Structure formats: C-alpha cells, structure tokens
Amino acid sequence: MGEFKVHRVRFFDYMPSGIRALAFNGDTERMAVARMDGSVEIFHCSDRFFQEKIIPGREQCGIEGLSWVGERLFSAGLNGGITEYDLTNQKVKYTIDAYKIPWYTFLILCFYHLNLDRQKSRIVSLSWHTSGSKIAAGMMDMIQIFNVETGHSIHRMLADRGVGTSRSKECVVWSVVYLSDGTIVSGDSVGMVKLWDDQTGTLIKSHNVTKCDVLALSVSQNEDSLVAGTSEGTVVQFQFVSMVLGKDDKEWVRTRTFKNHTHDIRAVAEITTAVVSGGMDAQLVVKPLLDKIEVRSAASALRKIHFPHRRLVFCARNSGLMLFQYPGHLELWRLGESEGKGIPGSSLFVKRNPEKLLHLKVKGEDHIRCSAVSPCGEWIVYSTASSLRLYRLHCDNNNVSITKISKLPKVLSSANQLCFSSDSSHLFSASTQSSVHIVSLSQSGCKFVGTLKPKSGSHQAIHLLAASEDGEWLASANSDHEVHIYNLQTRKAHCTVPVYSSAVTAMGIHPTTNCLFMMYADQQMCEYSIEQKQYTDWSRTVQRKGLHRLWMERDTPCLNVMFNPQNPSHVILHDTYMLCIIDQSLPLPDDKTQFYNQLTLKSLTEDQRKSHSHAFKVCKTFKDILCVELISDQSLVVVERPLEDVATQLPAPIKQKKFAT
C-alpha cells in the first residue's frame, strides 16, 4: 500500500509527574488525580478512563489531599492552603490560606475552625467520622481521636514501633480512615494495617502487610472493602466478610494483593468495579475487581495510564519543526535529514541530526496549559492559566531569534486550547463559555477579528480545535462531548454534530471532502460531512457493521487524526501503541477477519494481498507513542517516549531483597 519515511524521535524528555492523591466521585463517575507538580486531572471512569480535564499545576504547589464535596473539588496543599477548582473552565477557582502552619490532611469534608488541644506531635493524617463530630488523626507513634465540638482528645492509641533496629525509629501513622461504625483503620511506617475501636480506644486487629510503609488507605463507598497502598508498590485489599457462612458476624479479612507499581503507592481509591492506585512511578493503574464485573470486556482489563490524553508535541508541517510542551518550558526542534533510500525496515543514513532551536521558559509560576506552532513554523503560542504569549520566530540559516508579540488583543489573556489556520494567517484561541476567538496574524502583529460562539449548549472548556485546510471551517470539541462547527467566512455557528456518549479524543477535517473525522474515547469513529450536515455513508457503514473486536479492545485513546494528501481515502490515526491507516476504499473487517494482518500480507504475493486486505492497516512497529504527525514531504514524525527511559529517570524504588541475590 505504501512506504513511509519515518522520523523516529525519542529525545522528548517528557517526565510524567508522580501521583499524590486520588478522589473518586461516585455520583459523576469521575476520578480526580493530583500530581506532584500540582496539576489536577479528571478522569471519566465509565468512559474508558478518558482524561477529560487537566488543570495545570504551578511551581511550589504541592497538593497533599484531594476531596470532592458534591460536584465541587477541593485540594489541600503542604503550605496549608485549601484550593477549590473551577472544573468548567479547568482552572483554580480560589485558594484560602487556611492556616499558616503546615497541615497534613488526607480527607477534607468541610471547614471548621477547630481549636484542638495543642499538639506536641505532628499530625500526618486525618479522617472525619461521618457524623462530623469526631476526627481521627494519625501522628508520630500514635493515633488520637478528637471531639470536634470541644476540641479535646477522646482517646490516645499508641502505635507500636518496629522490632529490632527500627525500634529506635518513630512509627509514622501515614494514613487513617474513620469508618461509620466507629472502627478506625490506620496504616503506618512499620507496615501494619491496624483496626481500632473508637469507643474503647483499643486495638481490634492488626495485619502485617509489608516490611515497608503503608502509605495510603481507602475504603469503598459501602465500607465493605478497604485497600492499602504500600511503598513496595503493592495494593492489599481487605474485605468485611462474615467468617461463618450465613452468620452476621463480620470481620475484616485480608483478601487480595496486587503488584502493578514499581515505586511507592501514594494514593489508592476503590471505585465501583476497580481499585485505582497511583504513586511515584507516575502511572495510574486501574485494576478491575473481577468479582464485581459481570461481562468480560475491554473494561475488565487492567489499565495503566502513563501519558496524558492530550497532545504535548506539535509539528509545523511545512517547515519540519517540532514543538515539545513541558510543564515549565517549550522546546523547538528541527528534524534531521536523511540521505539515500532504504528498503522497508531499514534505517537511513542521517545526513543532518535534529537540532534544538529554542528553549522557551515560561514566565511566572503557572505551568503551560496549551501551546501550538503554526504550520509554517513562524509562530509559537502558549497559554498558562493566567497569561497567553505569542512569539514570532525568525530563522535565517543557523540564526534563530524570536520576538514576543506585544499588545495582544485583550481577549487573548488565556486560552484553553490553541490552533493555527492551515495557512498560518489566523490563530484560534478557545476561551471561556466554549467560545473561540479569532485573531489575524501579520508581519505587523496581530489583530482581533471576532469571536465564535455556540448557539446553545454547555459552557465547558474546549479541549480540541480543528481547522479545515481551505480556511472555511473550524470545529471545536468540549468536555461535554459537544462538537460545534463554525463557518469562518461568516463567523457564525454552522452546525453541531449530534452529541455522542463518549468524549472526542481527536478530530480532523478532511482536506478535500471537508468531512470532520472524529475519534471517541470508546474507540468509535465517526465521519461527519460538514457541508451536508450529516454523517457520511462510510460512517454509517462503520456504525452498522461495527468495528472489529480487537480495535474496540485497545485501551488508549487515539490522539491525532491526519489525512494523506496523496491519497484522499486514507485516514491516519495513532494511539500509544500503534499507528493505523484506515483506507476507506477497502472493505471493513468483520470479527472473523484477521485484524492485525500486516505480517500475513507481507508474506503474500501482490495478488493474494488484495483478497486479504481490509481497511485497517495497523503498524505496531512503534510503542509508547506520544505523537504521530504527517509532514508535508509525506514523511511521518513519530515521537516515542519509551517507558524504560521514563523508568530510568524515576528515583530508585525501595530496595527489596529478592531470593538468591
């Protein structure tokens, strides 16, 4: 079908940040994840764990705890600050410096001015009783129960130190959970999970879970299951079950152990059907509890989320430039050049190595929310929560210089998403209330042109923008799954794509047919004709026949949709593990067809291939893909971030003695 020259790039040093806290909202099925760099992400648990929203962090902003109150999300930081988030516009709403003392919190339900007895010891963890009248606090070597109204300590329960040499070390109660029946569960640095009675202040049961620390505890909503995360990377589950069948005499019993992490687990949460854990190895692991799953499906598979579901790499198609978005800076690289030709599977001689042209540090403390480079490579733009900056790039042979465009129109104060028109003459900036501002770019600077507003619908922030090749159309997708299409000539809303139950993860407008091709988090795909305002025949065929089982079972979303100008029937997609070219002229595979058939086709003759070919041409040569882009010389840029490389840059995990070592 075709050969492609591929620039295989592995020098994007993207490091995912460690996970610090998790909070699950059972009503909305959303999981909030706080990372070490202060960013907060919202995952939609029932939509294949799609990362719906990202609120970027900022320097020196450590989050220690995260909590939902209804649909409001709060976090508490090391500096004692409490922050509420604006989830619609994906930014920090406000921060209150509640106490000027460092306060380690685990769970916040609401705020009281507590005047607890003066504590000599540091409070490491806290948990409220559902009644709101009592608080359990994990401290050094002990757990205290306070009466909220009086502020007095009701009970002091001493946690045992370890035996032997660790006897001299304090026992840190890293985590406490106050159950509604009055049981207090604690996890400590000695590796014990202990159950206490708050009435008598006595130990009910103690489980030795690990030789290291028990760092995190979480109880399920109906309080019949408890998970503990350890610094070895294991998650241990306890269940509240009756010891004798049919009797009501229930006890907490250690049931399962999972090991899916290499480093400390800093946060665990039990959701409806799975245990979610995160820690220093920066991956979010969703381990389904198979006893709670009725049908085996893609949803019942172990899921590890390593990379954000947003693009961090942007290519200037026409000039061979790549923009890498790091939290605190941008890097601009020029691709290398090859010499000669090679057979498929071979590497070409690299005549010129890739070159780093620019290292652009962000002004201020906020991390970058979005960025873009224009197709011509002349413009670079980025936005943080508080500011937006536009730069013009001058490249004369080896001299690279940039000028910041000053006097930006006021509407460009901040953006949720940024996108250039294909001729680089306009910048589209997604703003509040799902609106998009248009700015024209010229030598002299930039000028506000107008604002595109949806006719109706939600005000959720836009996370995807796609402009058509001919400059006629712009499509925007927001986190309420709405896709609006605007006519750029009239600057009016043209139509809205029927809302689908799953989030749009990537979209693109076909350069010749002007059809909008959308990929959804549940791995469905749709092609919508903008001019006819309806799904195309091909799209309807796909919906009718259904996609292949193996396609649906992939567990990472497609993050880019591209088109091959030389072959209009080709749509190029990628997820973290594969690159796929959909040839719309070929028959769709049914479930009996061999789906991953590239190896088979390779071994067949030209004639036989025709009868075995189907529309999905999946290339599995690459893995840990962050970005694939087709640039104007028909070559592909594949940016990989091998997980092994990420692992080598993580801090060393706790040393464990293995047998015979």
| Interface ranges with other proteins (CB under 8 A) | 1-11, 336-338, 341-348, 350, 353-354, 581, 594, 598-604, 609, 613, 617, 619, 621, 635
| Short-list 241, 194, 188, CA closest to 211 | 188
Residue 121 CA to residue 502 CA, distance in Å, equals: 49
In angstroms, give the least distance from the CB of 572 to other proteins.
10
Please, which residue, 163 or 599, has the CB nearer to other proteins? 599
In angstroms, give the least distance from the CB of 559 to other proteins.
19
In angstroms, give the least distance from the CB of 550 to other proteins.
15
In angstroms, give the least distance from the CB of 2 to other proteins.
6
Residues 6+ away with beta carbon under 8 Å from 135: 114, 116, 126, 127, 128, 129, 145, 146, 148, 178
Q: What is the per-residue burial (b if ≥16 Cβ within 10 Å, else e) of 188-203?
A: bbbbbbbbbebeebeb
Please, which residue, 400 or 601, has the CB nearer to other proteins? 601
Find tokens 């002299």 and name the residue.
Answer: 444
Half-sphere exposure of 241 (CA within 13 A, CB side): 10
| Short-list 580, 651, 564, CA closest to 614 | 580
Residue 366 CA to residue 39 CA, distance in Å, equals: 10
Please, which residue, 455 or 612, has the CB nearer to other proteins? 612
Residue 311 CA to residue 575 CA, distance in Å, equals: 11
In angstroms, give the least distance from the CB of 20 to other proteins.
30
In angstroms, give the least distance from the CB of 428 to other proteins.
32
Run of H or E residues at 607: helix 606-612
DSSP string, 34-67: EETTS-EEEEETTTTTEEEEEE--BTT--EEEEE
In angstroms, give the least distance from the CB of 321 to other proteins.
15
DSSP string, 500-551: -SS-EEEEEE-TTT-EEEEEETTS-EEEEETTTTEE-HHHHHHHHH---HHH
In angstroms, give the least distance from the CB of 320 to other proteins.
12
In angstroms, give the least distance from the CB of 343 to other proteins.
7
Please, which residue, 113 or 341, has the CB nearer to other proteins? 341
Please, which residue, 74 or 622, has the CB nearer to other proteins? 622
In angstroms, give the least distance from the CB of 5 to other proteins.
6
Find tokens 């990362």 and name the residue.
Answer: 51
Please, which residue, 9 or 139, has the CB nearer to other proteins? 9
Residues 6+ away with beta carbon under 8 Å from 615: 582, 583, 584, 585, 586, 587, 588, 589
In angstroms, give the least distance from the CB of 262 to other proteins.
22
| Short-list 276, 298, 294, 293, CA closest to 285 | 276
| Short-list 481, 435, 437, CA closest to 459 | 435
Residue 276 CA to residue 272 CA, distance in Å, equals: 10
Residue 395 CA to residue 322 CA, distance in Å, equals: 14
Please, which residue, 378 or 640, has the CB nearer to other proteins? 640
Please, which residue, 164 or 340, has the CB nearer to other proteins? 340
Residues 6+ away with beta carbon under 8 Å from 634: 4, 5, 564, 566
In angstroms, give the least distance from the CB of 591 to other proteins.
18
Please, which residue, 7 or 35, has the CB nearer to other proteins? 7
| Short-list 266, 225, 233, 227, CA closest to 104 | 266
Give the sign of the dihedral formed by CA 536, CA 537, CA 540, CA 541. Answer: negative
**CA angle 344–349–353, rounded 5-degree value:** 125
Residues 6+ away with beta carbon under 8 Å from 504: 464, 477, 481, 483, 518, 519, 520, 521
**CA angle 519–520–526, rounded 5-degree value:** 55
Please, which residue, 122 or 609, has the CB nearer to other proteins? 609
Beta bridge partners of 383: 370, 388
Residue 314 CA to residue 509 CA, distance in Å, equals: 17
In angstroms, give the least distance from the CB of 614 to other proteins.
11
Please, which residue, 503 or 582, has the CB nearer to other proteins? 582
In angstroms, give the least distance from the CB of 538 to other proteins.
20
In angstroms, give the least distance from the CB of 56 to other proteins.
27
Please, which residue, 68 or 622, has the CB nearer to other proteins? 622
In angstroms, give the least distance from the CB of 601 to other proteins.
4
Please, which residue, 485 or 628, has the CB nearer to other proteins? 628
Residue 526 CA to residue 279 CA, distance in Å, equals: 36
| Short-list 317, 306, 321, CA closest to 508 | 317
Measured from the Cβ of residue 126, the count of other Cβ atoms closer than 10 Å reads 23
Please, which residue, 10 or 533, has the CB nearer to other proteins? 10
In angstroms, give the least distance from the CB of 580 to other proteins.
9
The SS3 assignment for 268 reads strand
Residues 6+ away with beta carbon under 8 Å from 399: none
Please, which residue, 6 or 204, has the CB nearer to other proteins? 6
Please, which residue, 128 or 616, has the CB nearer to other proteins? 616
The SS3 assignment for 223 reads coil
Sheet holding 30-35, edge to edge: 19-25, 30-35, 40-44, 50-55
Please, which residue, 110 or 343, has the CB nearer to other proteins? 343
